[in-house]
Amino acid sequence: MTDFNVNLLPSTRSFEKIIKGSKMRIIKTLVTSGLALGMLLSASNAKEVSFEGETIEFIMPYNAGEGTDQWGRFYAPLLSQALPGKPNIIIKNMPGGGSDRKSVV
């Protein structure tokens, strides 16, 4: 007598899970692709910005000469060159208030 193991064949429930999972993957891929396409289309409609003649203030919530201030003074000229119109960038130190003073200005 031969033993035939019926459990070797996948059940219909496992097929349903596979089909349901692949449908979800397809839906996720379509949604992600649609969002990416929408972002690309909206980026192409963006208006050009120029900061020519403008002044930008970097407000540093710490004393002059500290690490954050040095970081700002190092990057200010690089940011000025990178922005369209090459605006003037001024570092303004406003220490105090647990470094939350910048949010009041």
pLDDT at 82: 92
- What number of other Cβ atoms are within 10 A of residue 68's Cβ? 15
pLDDT tens readout for residues 25-50: 888 888 899 898 888 887 666 678 88
* Residue 16: both structure tokens together: 């349903």
C-alpha 88/C-alpha 90 separation (Å) is 7
Q: Residue 45 half-sphere exposure, CB side, CA atoms within 13 Å?
A: 6
* pLDDT at 87 (0 to 100): 93
Across 15-19, 22-26, 51-55, least confident range: 15-19
pTM of this structure: 0.49
Burial 15-46 (b: 16+ CB within 10 A, else e): eeeeeeeeeeeeeeeeeeeeeeeeeeeeeeee
